[in-house]
Structure 1
Amino acid sequence: MINRRTALPLLASPLLLTGCGGSGGEAGQRARPTRPAPVTGTTSQAEQAPHGIPGLGPTRTAAIPEQCTQAVVATGRGPDSPQCTVVLHQRTADGWQAGPSWPAHNALKGWSSHHMLGDLRSPLGVYTLSDAGGLLPDPGSRLPYHESAGFHSPGTGFEGEPLDGSFDYVIAIDYNRKPGTSPLDWTRPLGPKRGGGVWLHVDHGGPTHGCVSVAKAHMKDLLRTLDPARRPVVAMGYADWLAV
Structure 2
Amino acid sequence: MSEVILVTGASAGFGEAIARLFVSKGYRVIGAARRQDKLRDLAHELGERFYPLQMDVSDKDSVDKALALLPKDWSKISLLVNNAGLALGLDKAYEADFKDWETMIMTNVMGLSYLTRKLLPQMVAAKEGYIINIGSTAGSYPYPGGNVYGATKAFVKQFSLNLRADLAGSHVRVSTIEPGLCGGTEFSKVRFKGDADRAKQVYEGVSSLQPEDIANAVLWLFQQPKHVNVNRLELMPVSQSFGPWHLAED
Tell me the TM-score normalised to structure 1 length. 0.27
Higher-RCO chain (CA-CA 8 Å, sequence separation at least 6):
1
Higher helix share: 2
Higher strand share: 1
Q: Which has the larger radius of gyration?
A: 2
Tell me the TM-score normalised to structure 2 length. 0.26
